[in-house]
Chain A
Amino acid sequence: MSELNISNMTCPLPLNDHPRIKMAHGGGGRMMQRLIEELFFAAFDNPALRSGHDGAVLELPEGRPVMTTDSYVVRPLFFPGGDIGALAVHGTVNDLAMCGARPLYLSASFILEEGLETETLWRVVQSMRAAASATGVQIVTGDTKVVERGHGDGIYINTTGVGVIENETQIRPGRIKKDDLIIVSGDIGRHGMAVMGAREELAFTPPIESDCAPLWNTVADMLDAEIDIHCLRDATRGGLCAVLNELAQSSGLQFDVVENDIPLAANVRGACEVLGLDALQVACEGRFVAIVPKSDAARALEMMRVQNDSAAVIGRVTDGEAGLVTLQTPIGGRRILDMPAGELLPRIC
């Protein structure tokens, strides 16, 4: 993935007698300047950032530019398989990838809570650096604010991404057609259960690791192979269930999905059974749904399996009822797969 070894790198700031973030680190003065130069510049080093200008002047290759933004809040900041820094890079880069755009540049804004250990910030920043380097994006501009202790969960991050669609491909819900096949890029629900396990101190055996990962390389392979991708969408909050409902609604078509074909790791399934959660609604951070013509499905699946061998065709598009998602249950019944209500709440029994 990366040549960086985070554990060997030490944070330069504690040496300067600031083991914790203070209000002055966001106050616009000398302390903020040192934080930016010694921590952020050191980690994300690139010419646009070094220019010290109010904004980054970008060089864009030929094509259609794409811009997206997302904010990241997660507790705990570090969880099995990832951390808020990796999420903040992968999440935004993945949104660009879902548009078929090569990710190029990111901004990074940090809202830090007074009292945060500087070492923690350093670890998060190093994780962002590794994630950005692995996907080939540069973090070219940013901002830092500090809020009073008790007014934040340590670190909030916003990243905005800019990328470019380099060919004539049209990836959007409007291109989804009857008889297209629905493919999911790997087993679902890992991220949500990994975070829940870490937050609630639930010891799953074997441990569940987040699926937090960049998706662009797989999408790039599919584009290079000239697969006629009709639509892509990454499964984040609301899980696979929300993605299928969103795409069925915006395409005005019906999706028929087979529950037994949806890849699900045994430990995630077990944890969901115990907690009374529906795995289809649990968040992912490194999985996407691809909707492709039947003729291209086998090749698309093959490429997705290079990244994750559990990728699978899970259903097809029909011209039934607009916006409806149906699920064939394991015992051969059929039911509606509805949009999740919002907050995942474990059932009582």
Chain B
Amino acid sequence: MKYIDEYRDPELAQKYAAAIAKVVTRPWTIMEVCGGQTHAIVRFGIQELLPDTVELVHGPGCPVCVTPLEMVDKAIEIAMRDEVIFCSFGDMLRVPGSEKDLLTVRAEGGDVRTVYTPLDTLKIATDNPDKQVVFFAIGFETTAPANAMAVHRAKEKGLGNFSVLASHVLVPPAIEAILSSPDNRVQGFLAAGHVCAVMGTAAYTPLAEKYQVPIVVTGFEPLDILQGIYRCLCQLEEGRSHVENQYQRAVRDIGNVSAQAFIRKVFRVVERKWRGIGEIPESGWALSDAYADFDAERRFGLADIEVEEAQNCISGLVLQGLKKPADCPAFGKQCTPDQPLGATMVSGEGACAAYYRYRKDKLYE
């Protein structure tokens, strides 16, 4: 298939693996930020092609995983209402809230629907004027433009029965939170290509300079990731710390300017709680005042819900790269994709689920 097979060429992959082995002289720890990259790394067995001295740790870039428990509980509370049609991206439905998940709400009679784009929910709202239609607007900078567009169109059309439960998160503050932690082990980053396709690369330069870490904007196919790792390792070995763009076929340094303008119009920057990690300042987007009428939290008058996360779940440490999934005593035992304790076991992009499905660490014992 064009534009895919070129980036999965086994011979080129082996060449990159050899080049990586050649350039590495000592142990390095690199974090791939995005869940899509984690998924590709385990799905294609990329770690197996790397020298033992290169460790990949899986960052907090799975939006499903980091959406705070309170937000999932709020989604469930809204979805349980008779007058509501609750719409969400598919893999959010299985994320455990405090007591249940959205699939359970559906089984109990709630009208919970999977959509492929938030714009579909506008049609649902138009077709069901007697219902309140709510979209669970989660995701990183990548999903924000379409979510912003949906809210904007709803306002233009005067769709009074549409609202969004917005819980957007941002990559650069998360990277800074990891780098500024006294426990940090990460020496170089593969930044999330699609986030940068929207936002550009400028936000990463101050991080690379301040913390002296190389950051390589990287794509999602196996050869993208191998090339990203190679470039990151070259910088580390040479003592450089710059922002590089491996994913030039999709990412311009300035990003997608019109999408950014839309996002600025519809959203405002807020402090955001990340599941398993905690509050990170200026790390999320909520609806701006001009669009506050479309805020589902406001419309349904949801009080702040404070929730404790499972004690024996180490997903927060996994998301920060401090622990590997298999370090968790519950991994594969009390916690499996069928009975997840934490969100990293839920999404296919979550590090724990990815390890469980594709590795189980059996092959590496």
Interface residues in chain A, defined as those with a beta carbon under 8 Å from any beta carbon in chain B: 200, 202, 266, 269-270, 273, 275-276, 321, 324, 326, 329-336, 338, 341-343, 345-349
Contacts and interface: CB of A to CB of B under 8 A. Distances in A.
B14 interface: yes
A331 B10 contact: yes
Contacts, number: 103
A326 B363 contact: yes
- Most chain B CB within 10 A, of A200, A266, A331, A341, is at A331
15 contacts: A202-B116, A329-B43, A330-B8, A330-B222, A331-B13, A331-B44, A331-B49, A331-B223, A333-B49, A334-B45, A343-B103, A345-B90, A347-B91, A347-B348, A348-B89
Interface in B1-49: 1, 4, 8-10, 13-14, 36, 39, 42-49
Given A333-B49, A348-B64, A348-B89, A338 B363 contact: no
Leading 3 A-B pairs by shortest Cβ distance? A333-B45, A345-B90, A331-B13
B91 A331 contact: no
Interface in B158-196: 194
Interface in B318-365: 337-338, 347-349, 356-360, 362-363
Given A330-B10, A331-B10, A333-B49, A347 B90 contact: yes
- Most chain B CB within 10 A, of A200, A269, A276, A326, is at A276
A331 B90 contact: no
Nearest to B354: A335
B145 interface: no
Interface string B120-143: 000000000000000000111011
Given A347-B90, A347-B348, A336 B63 contact: no
B359 A348 contact: no
A329 B114 contact: no
- Most chain A CB within 10 A, of B1, B9, B39, is at B1
Contact of B14 (A275, A332, A348): A332
B222 A331 contact: yes
Contact of B43 (A275, A335, A341, A342): A335
Nearest to A345: B90
Contact of A335 (B4, B139, B223, B363): B363
Given A331-B8, A345-B90, A348-B143, 20 more contacts: A202-B116, A266-B1, A276-B348, A324-B362, A329-B45, A331-B45, A332-B49, A333-B44, A335-B42, A335-B359, A335-B363, A336-B362, A341-B337, A346-B116, A347-B89, A347-B348, A348-B139, A349-B63, A349-B142, A349-B194
A290 to B, nearest CB: 26
A303 to B, nearest CB: 29
Interface residues of B, number: 48
Nearest to A332: B10
Contacts of A321: 362
Given A273-B4, A332-B13, A345 B93 contact: yes
A121 B114 CA distance: 29
A200 B356 CA distance: 30
Nearest to B357: A338
A336 B143 contact: no
Contact of A273 (B1, B14, B39, B64): B1
B338 A342 contact: yes
Nearest to B46: A333
Contacts of B142: 349
Contacts of B43: 329, 335
B13 A347 contact: no
Contacts of B64: 348
B94 interface: yes
B259 interface: no
A266 B347 CA distance: 26
A335 B41 CA distance: 10
A67 B252 CA distance: 62
Contacts of B10: 330-332
A336 B363 contact: yes
B92 interface: yes
A253 to B, nearest CB: 15
A338 B356 contact: yes
A27 to B, nearest CB: 28
Contacts of B363: 326, 334-336
Contacts of B1: 266, 269-270, 273
Given A331-B13, A343-B103, A348 B91 contact: yes
A156 to B, nearest CB: 18
B44 A330 contact: yes
B125 to A, nearest CB: 17
A341 B360 CA distance: 15
Nearest to A342: B338
Contacts of B48: 333-334
A338 B92 contact: no
Nearest to B13: A331
A245 B13 CA distance: 28
